[in-house]
């Protein structure tokens, strides 16, 4: 994991530069900017996959999807790019998701649930939170920002992911964005990945 440590010092200023495409979900709850040469996949395409990427249950808790947009920096536009694992991806993959929180689940919303419902890295080998900090958009939209590295089940290949996950003031929704790829890819494409995640806004209707 030693080489991954060099990423920590760089995770402060994205600035990927170049032309950007702005995406706003149909309910106008979130906004995201990606490089113009990346690809965006809306929920109709993502639903064709066997499972929705970057959406996990935590200890039996379910947070139904309200909206999701996937994206990648692959050479070819293909929603199947999202179906691969971060550790094996040689291009950035990610998703921005809005999920509802039921009354029963609200008692269990925590920093742990906010991260593991996106990417369950605590159950993966050699997981290391390179950075982890509280994060706030203001107006009660608060959560956590994490840069994490982890290995595949063999312990050989390493992936790195950067995510932000927050709830609204009443814990009625979970908003999350994540992007990552293999360690080598992340070190090459770090500025773009940071720029995409850091561009993300929530509660854009207000």
- Percent of the chain past pLDDT 70, that is, above it, reads 90
Query: HEC string of 140-187?
Result: CEEEEEEEEEEECCCCCCEEEEEEEEEECCCCCEEEEEEEEEEHHHHH
**pLDDT > 60? residue 75:** yes
pLDDT of residue 3: 35
User: How many CB atoms sit inside 10 A of residue 6's CB?
Assistant: 11
pLDDT at 64: 95
Backbone region of residue 155 per phi and psi (left: phi > 0; alpha: psi in -120 to 50; beta: other values):
left
**Is the CB of residue 14 less than 8 Å from the CB of residue 29?**
no
Return d(Cα 142, Cα 60) in angstroms, integer. 23
Rounded Cα–Cα distance for residues 177 and 115 (Å):
10
Q: How confident is residue 204, by pLDDT bands cut at 50, 70 and 90?
A: confident
> Of the given ranges (120-124, 153-157, 189-193, 194-198), which has the lowest mean pLDDT?
153-157
Res 1 pLDDT > 50: no
104: enclosing H helix or E strand: helix 103-106
Q: Catalogue all structural domains in the chain, each as residue range(s) with its CATH number.
A: 2-12+19-202 (3.40.1000.10)
* DSSP H or E stretch at residue 195: helix 183-199
Asked whether the predicted pLDDT for residue 12 surpasses 60, the reply is: no
Token readout for 171 is 């814990």
């Amino acid at each position: 994991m030693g080489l991954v440590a060099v990423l920590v010092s760089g995770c402060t200023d994205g600035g990927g530069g170049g032309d950007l495409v702005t995406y706003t979900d149909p309910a106008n709850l979130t906004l995201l900017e990606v490089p113009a040469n990346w690809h965006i996949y809306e929920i109709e395409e993502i639903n064709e996959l066997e499972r929705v990427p970057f959406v996990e249950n935590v200890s039996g808790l379910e947070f139904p999807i309200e909206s999701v947009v996937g994206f990648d920096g692959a050479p070819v536009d293909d929603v199947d790019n999202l179906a691969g694992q971060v550790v094996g991806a040689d291009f950035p993959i990610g998703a921005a998701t809005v999920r509802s929180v039921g009354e029963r689940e609200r008692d269990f919303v925590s920093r742990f649930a906010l991260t593991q419902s996106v990417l369950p890295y605590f159950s993966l080998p050699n997981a290391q939170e390179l950075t982890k900090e509280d994060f706030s958009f203001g107006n009660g939209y608060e959560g956590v920002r994490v840069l994490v590295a982890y290995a595949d089940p063999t312990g050989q290949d390493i992936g790195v992911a950067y995510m932000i996950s927050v709830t609204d003031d009443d814990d009625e929704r979970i908003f999350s964005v994540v992007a990552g790829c293999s360690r080598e890819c992340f070190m090459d494409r770090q500025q773009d990945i940071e720029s995409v995640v850091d561009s993300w806004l929530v509660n854009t209707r207000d």
